[in-house]
Amino acid sequence: MWPLLLDMSKLDCKKSLRTLELEAYSTIVSAFRAQGDLTPKKIDVLKELQTLFKISIDRHKSEVRRACNDDKLYTIAKLLSHGDCVSTEWISQSKRSIPLLPSFQATNASSCYYRILADQILSKAEPVFSLYPEDNSIKTCDQHPQPLNDKSESESELVYLKNGYAVQSNCVKDSFMFHCKW
């Protein structure tokens, strides 16, 4: 008895075939990595499979990188090969043809706003204690004592930042209101 034909379009068949080809190539690379060193014979087999499965060079390099960085495959190769299983051939096969571009910090509408706000707050900030004092003396909070029961207006409005700066809270409010006006 023959298998039944499924209701698939030609495009679905091509997608399924491509998926099977990519999975087969990935599995072969994983098996070769688990066996240990990348020998010239294995390289020839991989080149033949690249042409049969239409695997691009970049795809081949990414599969080799994936296999090189897999802990399970490394453990299998290390325990079964009884030696050093970090082959320079695996590393040379995984080199990128074009190096990655440096990644930049993601920006959105509010990140620019917060950067401007932080710059304004830091420009108005007064250092509570300095890491590099100019007169080689350490400034402490006890140099300007305030009465405990009579809090001045300026002290109650200070906001202490993590970097050691103190900012008056009205500066923060003014900066925030300045940028919130649309």
Q: At 173, which amino acid appears? A: K
In order of 4, 6, 7, 180, the CA distances from 1 in angstroms are 9, 15, 19, 75
- DSSP string for 48-114: HHHHHHT--HHHHHHHHHHHHT-HHHHHHHHHHHTS----HHHHHHT--SSPPPPPPPP--HHHHHH
pLDDT of residue 3: 81
**Three-state DSSP class for residue 39:** coil
pLDDT of residue 167: 67
pLDDT of residue 17: 95
pLDDT of residue 22: 95
pLDDT of residue 81: 77
pLDDT of residue 131: 55
pLDDT of residue 4: 85
pLDDT of residue 107: 66
Domain-wise residue ranges, the chain? 15-93, 109-134+151-180
pLDDT of residue 52: 95
| Mean pLDDT (10-residue bins), the chain, 182 residues | 84 95 96 90 95 93 91 89 69 74 70 78 68 51 44 58 65 46 40
pLDDT of residue 149: 44
Write out the two tokens for 175.
């900066």
Sign, CA dihedral 128-130-134-137, equals positive
In CATH, which of 1.10.8.100, 3.20.20.70, 1.10.1240.40, 3.40.50.1380 is domain 15-93? 1.10.1240.40
The predicted model scores a pTM of 0.54
pLDDT of residue 45: 96
